[in-house]
Structure 1
Amino acid sequence: MSNKLFLTLICLFGTISLFAQTRGHEFAIQSDNDSFLGQGSDRYYTNGIFFYYRKALKTGNSNSLQNKVLGFEIGQKMFNPQSGYVPDATYIDRPFAAYSYLGSTLNLLFKNESNIKLSAQLGIVGPAAGGEPMQKLIHNTFGFYHLNGWQYQVKNNVQLNLGAEYNKLLARASWVDVSLASYANLGNGFTGAGLGPLVRLGNFNQLFNSVSTQSTVSAADQTGLLHKHEIFFYYKPQINGVLYDATIQGSLFNKSHDAGSLEVTLDKKPLIFSQQVGVAFTTSRFLFDVAAIFHTREVEGMLRSHQWGSITGAYRFK
């Protein structure tokens, strides 16, 4: 009897240990703002807020698939010119605009450390996206300067945007690896593509269960990981080709201006170079990613290039 009880307890604790290492669900919040870099700027991509829910799916008996993650998100991006206060339209070097959306992703992560992440977003650019009231709330709450210029913002237009990401490990040593990072977007809001390397230094895991590919949740215990917890620095330079950007150019299909409309749109630059530098780390349940992003000018007439900080926190659970 005692032997049976002992074996039962061993099996029970073994099961608890297995599930303790398996986190199948994740809630995450991401906040972007140029003020995070402490430069006192309030221009161009000035604020973003995003909420994510991710659920790991079973991979079945696949010989190639290591992990599969379904995600849902809601977010808002906000843009203004060189300042949130412009005396008149001649000072607008990047249009006032906001983009709010609902989206879903499916992340397929393979044993060879490549992944394909598919996404779809239904959103809106224009006053209905809520950029002006959100920026007013932020400025009034923290005692920032008075705003002027949202009367010139991009008009309302509904958007359907599709996207795909592809990442692939290229080389790895004990504490450093390099992978290919690429994406392509197609829609009446955002169409373009980007390509570049991702360099990681520190304690990182394989791309099928890593912060780098938003895949730290799994439906089964991920055995054979390089590290129990991740903590690494990363650098991600990228060349981005831009075919269309509705936050700069306005509606793709309706180019007519209503009588009395104050909308200001501009022409985008076809190529943008971006750099992202950050640090990411995980615990058994929590995840954090802190980064600085630097972009070259999106519009020829922009006074400066722009940069912002991004902070992501996530909680994983059974």
Structure 2
Amino acid sequence: MRFKILWLLVASSVVAQNKKPIELGLQLENDSFVSTYNDFYYTNGTFLFGNYVSDKTTTEQKRIHGFRIGQQIFNPRWVKATNPENHNRPYAGYLFAEYSVTKMNRSNSVKAMTFQLGVVGPDSKAEQFQDWMHASFGFGKIYGWEYQIQNTLALQYGLTYSKPIFAKVTSDYLDFQLYTKSDLGTVFTGTNFGILTRLSLSKPLTAMSNSNFYNGLGTAPKECYFFVLPKINLQVYDATIQGSLFDHKSVVTFDLKPIRFRGEAGIKFKYHHLNLSGSFVYTTDEIRNNSATGYYYGSVISSYVF
């Protein structure tokens, strides 16, 4: 609750001081959006965010400043197992605050940097939030959080870069972008690369520098397109699976599978000031454990641009 109040205060201050477009929104990620049966591994994410156009924006480059507060929750496959030997993934929670700056060039290339500060472990309050959510919706009691990944400080830096490719087959209704994203920090270290495809479902595509895919805060009144983003993920370190870099206090930890596939597909929609998005995300197995499998979840985003 304290983080929501802080986020609202920051957003109100930005709105009061900045006359350029400002976006406020909510993103929810949950495996139950796709299937109530597959309730495991990455099981829930809640994010509050705000974005605004920088005063340093020019005709050649738009700069977007962003703020986000988020919590992510991870479970093993069997959440009724009291014996930690039956946990094929650690219980873990990640709570963070994020600042980002995104540079969108007239050439439609995008470069975004993110900085996160937070905590993995009991101080993330993931156990309490999941207990409340399961009690509220009748999902039943969860056992095993006492074996969760222990507290570790989260310091993260991320870099995303995207640029147009396949110009010869690009049209007003179809485009492609080379996508790369790298993370370095005490929680996640790895890199992703893939190809983003956008296919318009109505009018010609909005330029990437104004599109809602990267929160471009553009002036186009309407936007509706299907997107697909298959990625190869090279993962070096994941504290929610391997535990802290600084100690070995966590009881249940596993080694990573360094190479995995991640795919995302969905629809993004804009109608004047309202942005809506729904997507399906799939990840192959992440852990060197015979019983661990790939998993999937749904993501929904709603925002309003003032």
Q: Which residue of the partner structure matches residue 10 of structure 1?
A: none
Q: Does the CA contact (< 8 Å) of 2:221 and 2:273 recur in 1?
A: no
Residues 209-228 of structure 1, C-alpha deviation per residue, up to 9 Å, x if partnerless? 112112125xxxx5xxxx64
Residue by residue, what CA displacement relative to the aligned partner does 1:145-190 show, whole Å, maximum 9, x if unpaired?
2110101100001110000100111132121111111111111111
Show the counterpart of 1:312: 301
SS at match of 1:132: helix
Structure 2: where are the runs of 5+ without partners? 1-18
Query: Which of 295-304 and 92-101 deviates more?
Result: 295-304
After superposition, residues 1-318 of structure 1 pair within 5 angstroms as 24-59=21-56, 62=58, 64-65=60-61, 67-170=62-165, 171=167, 172-202=170-200, 203=203, 204-216=205-217, 222=219, 228-255=221-248, 257=249, 263-301=251-289, 302-317=291-306
- Using the TM superposition, name which of 195-204 and 105-114 deviates more: 195-204
Structure 1 residue identity aligned to 2:163: K
Distance 2:60 2:95 in 1: 36
- After superposing the two structures, state which structure 1 stretch, 195-204 or 118-127, moved more: 195-204
Q: 1:252 to 1:186 in 2, by over 3 A?
A: same
CA contact (8 A) 2:20 2:52 kept: no
**Which of the pair has more CA radius of gyration?**
1
Q: How far apart are 1:46 and its partner, in Å?
A: 0.1
The runs of 5 or more residues in structure 1 that have no matched partner are 1-21
Contact 2:22 2:217 in 1 (8 A): no
Q: Offset of 1:59 from its aligned partner?
A: 3.5
- Greater RCO, 1 or 2 (C-alpha within 8 Å, sep 6+): 1
Deviation of residue 23 (structure 1)?
6.1
Task: Give the Å deviation of 1:84.
Answer: 2.4
Aligned-CA RMSD value: 1.5
Shift of the 200–163 alpha-carbon distance from structure 1 to 2, 3 Å rule, reads: same
TM-score scaled by length of structure 1: 0.85
What's the TM-score, normalizing by structure 2? Answer: 0.88
Report if the CA contact (8 A) 1:151-1:263 is conserved. Answer: no
